[in-house]
Amino acid sequence: MSFDHLRATYFEECAELLESAYAQLAALAQGREDADTVHALFRAIHSIKGGGGAFGFGRLVGLAHAMETLLDLLRDGTIAFTPELVTLMLRGTDALADLLAAERDGAAAPPGLEAELTEAFLAAAAGTGAPASPAAAPPAAAAACDTGWRLRFRPHPAMFRNANEPLLLVRELRRLGPVTVAADASRLPPLERLEAEDAYIAWTFELTEPAPRDKVEEVFEFVIDDCELEIEPLAAESPVDLVPASPSDIVAPSGERPPPTRPPAEAASPVRAEAAAPSVRVDVSKIDRLVNLVGELVINQAMLLQHASILPADLCPGLINGLETLAQHSRELQEGVMAIRTQPVKSVFARMPRLVRELSAQLGKDVRLVITGEATEIDKTVVEQLADPLTHLLRNALDHGIETPDAREAAGKPRQGTVHLGAEQRSGRIVIELSDDGRGIDRARVLARARERGLVAADAALSEAEIDELIFLPSFSTAATVSAVSGRGVGMDVVRRNIQALGGRITLESRFGQGSRFVLSLPLTLAVLDGLVVAVGSEAYIVPISAIVESLRPHVEDIHAVPGRGNVLALRGAYIPLLPLHARFGVPGAVTDPSCGIVVIVETDHAGRLGLMVDELVGQQQVVVKSIEANYGQIGGVGGATILGDGRVALILDIPGLGAGVPPTTTRTIQPQPALQ
């Protein structure tokens, strides 16, 4: 394995470790100061430091070690967590992330980035009044215990399967001085239940010469997640059951020696790790190729099933049954492969607390970010493109939504504002909500600014929903001055464009003085979708099931011609614009009379509900999405293409794109004109 590959793997692992560290800090900020949370935070920082030392990242190691210094005192209960210490830990973790990014990108981190924080951590540890701990000393001055160390090493059952060998640890430990050892075989099961690959024996080691504690910890650096390890200074007396260590003494038969007596828990310094689920790192390009191959398999299976359906049922019943079973297995295989591509939105959500902290300090506001549903899974491609829209929405919420503490107090609100970021799955889509309890949208100001810039006619009468849509116009901003945070009108239009590019939609709800709520609805995956196949003339189109509200054959008396708007369908008190697909795409030979065809009503972002005029409904089908833009070019109203079971290419409709140029659905009274005869 090359050095570059090892380096890349380290940075990937550090990204996960930073996510874990931020998650534990969020729990601590909410008052959940249990031992597991503190240990998990310690392990994350410790692992980042260990790998950084192997690659010579001195600045990163120095900061991480200073953080460990304080964490070790917090972990053993010498001092307690306070909001100030949590804030300091957050700043330290942010600095670690910056140093890692600089090393990964080959750029020099700003001089002194970590110096002040390193001093702050060491000062916080030294200011506790507790004696300096060997683990708390900086690397250059790591203290040694006068009498040596006692180590209690209890491996997890899976340690051997992770290619770790206790004998090698003993050899490394013996380089620091004479070592004695006692084996604890109390966990050894009867022979018939013994698993050859599991670790059962625990050991107590005594290093009888002074050595720096950090050198002792380095021996167990790479097994720390596969064991429970306790390190304490060695008392003057030693247990009588300890004998000099030799390779033959590492595994002792059950019952040969009594298990060592464990000291009180407060005398030890435990380092515990939660058992992690086994995982394998796979290059994304390999997964993408697998997805493509499974997609081709599904297309060919659909073709075979289509051809077999032409045969008489009694001609070859075994073939028909086999193909139906193949179709079921193919779908399960496709769902399984797509699940490999999914990952929790936590990877994006974890970046947001830092953004909120920095913007809050910059704007002089007190804001609390509440995150829920971060374990919700979504296609990796979608996750990667969520960061920019969410960043824009959060900056908008903090700058325009949340008021200053004094203004909130004057309005009868808590001085601290709250922003909620949540995710959940709903009927085959993922819904992300970002809400705040700020001032909401001042619609009078928005409308006045739009008229001032000529975006809206001076005499135009707009509904609240239409006014809200103005904030998504390019170059629109209500900020009085341009700042580093906002005012240039770049942001909300980008958000909508990016979300629509993912096949999603964004909606806005706001109440002046009470806050705003943005809802992003996105497909779970961009590779496959469930669609309704519709016929228009000799062509077939795919309408995403997630966008369909209902379908019906309209009555003649419900169809009305409206000047300047074409035909509308009167349905339960609302007038829904009709969009004939044959006219939109120039398809000859299609049904032109709405009452003789089918209307599929879909939900769009801008136009509300829209009626698509088609000839007939062919059936529902799961389709593999093929990119049109990458292979041909962008087509308005088309989001991709697929291959049907009969071998024909069918275009997948882009519902937001189709609704972009259509006036919105309205429930206001419209005087319909008689239908043209």
* pLDDT single digits (tens) 559-612: 998 887 788 999 888 888 999 999 989 999 999 988 899 999 998 755 678 899
CATH assignment of the domain containing 20: 1.20.120.160
Q: What is the mean pLDDT of the chain?
A: 78
122 plus 193 within the same structural domain:
no
Query: Rounded to whole angstroms, how far apart are CA atoms 558 and 572?
Result: 10
Rounded to an integer, the average pLDDT of 460-487 is: 68
Look at residues 141, 170, 195 and tell me which one is the last residue of a structural domain.
141
Instruction: Please check whether residues 266 and 355 belong to one and the same domain.
Output: no
The closest alpha carbon to 357, from 80, 21, 22, belongs to 22
Distance CA 550, CA 534 (A): 14
Residue 325 lies in a domain: yes
Nearest to 592 by CA among 675, 471, 494: 675
pLDDT of the residue at 416:
92
Is the Cβ–Cβ distance between 153 and 202 less than 8 Å? Answer: yes
**Looking at the domain assignment, is residue 669 inside a domain?**
no
Full-model pTM: 0.57
Does residue 433 surpass a pLDDT of 90? yes
Distance CA 92, CA 122 (A): 12
Same domain, residue pair 102 and 180? no
Whether 472 and 349 map to the same domain: the answer is yes
Q: With respect to residue 229, please indicate whether it lies within any of the assigned structural domains.
A: yes
What confidence category does residue 663 fall into, taking pLDDT thresholds of 50, 70 and 90? low
Same domain, 79 and 192: no
pLDDT digits (tens, 9 = 90+) for 512-544: 888 999 998 887 766 777 889 999 999 999 998
Residues 368 and 497 in one domain: yes
Is the domain of 532 the same as that of 518? no
Residue 440 near residue 512 (C-beta atoms within 8 A): yes
670 vs 229, higher pLDDT:
229
Among 108-122, 328-342, 349-363, 367-381, the minimum mean pLDDT is found in 328-342
Most confident residue range from 161-170, 206-215, 343-352, 574-583: 574-583
For residues 574 and 650, membership in a common domain is answered with yes
CA–CA dist 254, 164 (Å, integer):
22
Q: How many folded domains does the chain comprise? A: 5
Listed residues 271, 299, 331: the one ending a domain: 271
pLDDT in tens, 83-127: 888 888 888 998 898 898 888 888 878 887 888 888 888 888 887
Query: Domain check: are 362 and 491 in the same one?
Result: yes
Instruction: Answer yes or no: do 166 and 230 share one domain.
Output: yes
338 and 412 both lie in a single domain = no
3-state secondary structure of 342: strand
Residues 300 and 350 reside in one and the same domain:
no
pLDDT at residue 459 tops 50: yes
Tens of pLDDT, residues 132-186: 333 333 343 344 566 788 889 988 887 777 667 777 788 778 888 888 888 888 8
**Residue 319 structural domain:** 284-343
Nearest to 438 by CA among 513, 363, 345, 371: 513
